[in-house]
């Protein structure tokens, strides 16, 4: 199992943290970590993020990432419409996933 997490930044986000477009941030993790901690550690401004996707599913910044996950961060200038019902259902499924992995 990979210990690496790939963080993909879209739109203006790479430039806000001094990276080039299409240059993901690769970090190593030993275990679960809150997404908000990773964003803070890499000086990625959460107030500029509109959507966070973990493994192609929308998640909240308070959710966790684990080794092998992929994060995609989209800035506010991206015109997304998030269906709140589907987002809630996905978040609940992700919570169950996290609970099962912690056991």
Per-residue model confidence as pLDDT tens digits over 54-97: 999 999 999 999 999 999 999 988 776 555 555 555 555 555 55
Domain 4-102: give its CATH code: 3.10.20.30
For residues 97 and 23, give the distance between their C-alpha atoms in angstroms, rounded to a whole number.
Answer: 29
Q: What pTM was computed for the model?
A: 0.74
DSSP string, 5-37: EEEEE-TTHHHHTT--TT--EEEE-SS-EEHHH
Per-residue model confidence as pLDDT tens digits over 2-16: 689 999 999 999 988
Domain locations along the chain:
4-102
For residue 55, CA distances in Å to 16, 20, 86 come to 23, 22, 16
For residues 44 and 73, give the distance between their C-alpha atoms in angstroms, rounded to a whole number.
Answer: 10
| Count of Cβ atoms closer than 10 Å to residue 24 Cβ | 15
């Amino acid at each position: 199992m990979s210990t690496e997490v790939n963080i993909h930044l879209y739109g203006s986000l790479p430039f806000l943290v001094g990276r080039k477009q299409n240059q993901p941030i690769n970090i190593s993790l030993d275990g679960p970590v809150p997404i908000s901690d990773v964003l803070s550690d890499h000086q990625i401004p959460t107030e500029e993020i509109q959507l966070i996707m973990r493994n192609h599913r929308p998640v909240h910044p308070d959710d966790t990432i684990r080794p092998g996950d992929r994060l995609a961060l989209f800035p506010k200038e991206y015109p997304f419409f998030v269906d709140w019902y589907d987002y809630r259902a996905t978040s609940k499924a992700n919570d169950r996933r996290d609970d099962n992995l912690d056991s």
